[in-house]
Amino acid sequence: MLELGCAGGGNLIPMAYRFPESTFVGIDLSIRELKIGRKMIRDLGLENIRLRHMNVKDVHDSFGRFDYIIAHGIYSWVPDRVQDRILAICNRNLASNGMAYVSYNTYPGWHMRGMIRHMMLYHTNQFRDVKEKIREARALIDFLANSIPGEKDHFALLLENELELIKRSEDSYIFHEHLEEKNSPVYFHQFVDRAHQHGLQYLAEAEFSSMLTSGFPKEVDEVLQGISKNLVAAEQYMDFLRNRLFRQTLLCHGELSLKRTLLAKNLEGLLIASRATPESDPLDFAPGVKQTFRTETGAWTKSDFSLTKAALAVLRDAWPKAMTLDTLLKAAEQLLQEKLPAFNMDPVECKESLGEDILHCFAGNVAELHTCQVDFVTAVSEKPMASPLAVYQADHDLPIVNQRHESIEVDPLSRELLKAMNGMRDTKALLSYLTRQGVAGAFTVKRNGIPVSGEKNILHTLEASIRGLVQNLANLSFLIR
């Protein structure tokens, strides 16, 4: 894997750690970021990753060929000639069956956000310090959103929405999106045309669910089908309807023949996971009775097929573990034998129907598909052990990545707990460690929302929550033993 603009390796290093037989290369222009990443690589003893101080223009054919090339958060923020170089690399340095990922800002959504950006740039031009620029940019949007006279018009609502986004955003995001000198959004069809000039073709979106028209009313879906001469046109019209701001596009070599029809057999070799929870308790497995399953992010699906309802129940109980379609089918059938002894279907028909429903769940962000099951446990052992990678990141105040390659924000108490879970401490020893750290002020311990102090009070408060804290980190896929 090659990542262009890898910064400190926050994306590559966790993958290199988990997949020691693969090779990872990252390039970036920031010496400061690279030093942080290189130190982490040395400290973890990784030998399958290199972070190089390079400009993308210096990546040539001799650099090698890669199965995956990533360019996240750089395409829209560099000059046209560099954008062309990124796409050229995605062709010349990509293996014959390889896949490239490029993210970029898009119109029409950025027409309105660009207006906000220009206001920020005008106001912050008078300041030199980056932190001051960011602080003033926040203040300007706050001022504008609260100062427009009269009733709430479209502009006022736009400013309010932008203000809410800015309040939730990190300083680095605000600077990158709004205050960088260069930010050049494009229409999707323009990006695809440009990729085509470099011998690449559109494969899909990393966010697969965004490619489907099923989220639109039936009449809208029918018009989209009628006016869209091909997939690219359909995607562009959906961008118009959604006022899309950002894309994460997957590209491959133009000469490849693509099969775009997804069938149940395409699940072979993949693992399925889902945390969708049934809204009804207890779940009714009877055929023909519709049951709704919903994830924490709001994605949902309905099914009246007994086998699918059972499969989603099995996946929810197994979360965050994933399983093959065959394993899921067997577990779902066993569950149905308990709940509906009379249930009977042809095995081939069962697998086909369940596979189609799982694909539907995947398309709706209700289920995940994976190529492998990374090492983690959800049952807490006597002496729990967190991933050494997570322990290192917690100890060095870095963003913490779990075993599912998710960046997880943890509170100061959980961060200290991660540091202590080296597989040598039982619950009593963990409690003792946390008590010392609490007394030292590493985190604030609260009881009924009120901070407590003193060793005895901290110990007493932590005693009641230590097992829940450890289990929570296990549920977040941090534990390997």
CATH number for 188: 3.40.50.150
User: Does 299 lie in the same domain as 189?
Assistant: no
The pLDDT, as a whole number, for residue 155 is 76
271 and 153 share a domain?
no
In a domain, 380, yes or no: no
pLDDT tens per residue, range 173-199 = 888 888 888 899 999 999 999 999 999
Say how far apart CA 197 and CA 200 lie, in whole Å.
7
Q: What φ, ψ does residue 249 adopt, rounded to 5°?
A: -95, 140
Residues 103 and 114 in one domain: no
In a domain, 85, yes or no: yes
CB distance 256 to 201 below 8 Å: yes
| Same structural domain, 21 and 83 | yes
Please tell me whether residues 424 and 276 are part of one structural domain.
no
Counting the structural domains of the chain, the total is 4
Is the Cβ–Cβ distance between 481 and 381 less than 8 Å? yes
239-to-116, 194, 277 alpha-carbon distances in Å: 20, 18, 31
Asked whether residue 338 falls in the same domain as residue 223, the answer is no
Q: Looking at residue 243, what DSSP letter applies?
A: T
Distance CA 73, CA 175 (A): 12
Does 441 map to a domain? yes
The Cα–Cα gap between 95 and 45 comes to 28
Q: Can you tell me the distance from the alpha carbon of 107 to that of 294, in angstroms, rounded to the nearest whole number? A: 31
Alpha helical stretches, state H, 198-262: 218-227, 231-242
pLDDT for the residue numbered 169: 85
pTM for the predicted model, two decimal places: 0.90
Whether residue 280 is found in the same domain as residue 424: no
Per DSSP, helices labelled H in 20-148 are: 31-44, 80-92, 109-124, 130-147
- Phi-psi region at 247: left, alpha or beta (left = phi > 0; alpha = psi -120 to 50): beta
CA atoms within 13 A of residue 446's CA, in its CB half-sphere: 6
Q: What is the mean pLDDT of each run of 10 residues along the chain (481 residues)?
A: 96 96 96 96 97 94 94 95 97 97 96 88 92 91 77 75 81 86 94 98 94 82 89 95 95 96 93 95 92 94 95 95 95 92 83 95 95 90 96 94 94 95 94 94 90 92 93 95 91
pLDDT at 292: 96
Q: Say yes or no: 215 and 93 in one domain.
A: yes
Does 89 share its domain with 199?
Answer: yes
pLDDT at res. 148: 73
Chain centroid to CA 133 = 29
Q: Residue 415: which domain range?
A: 388-475
How large is the C-alpha radius of gyration of the chain? 25
| pLDDT tens-digit series, residues 148-161 | 766 667 777 777 78
Query: Are 110 and 188 a contacting pair, CB within 8 Å?
Result: no
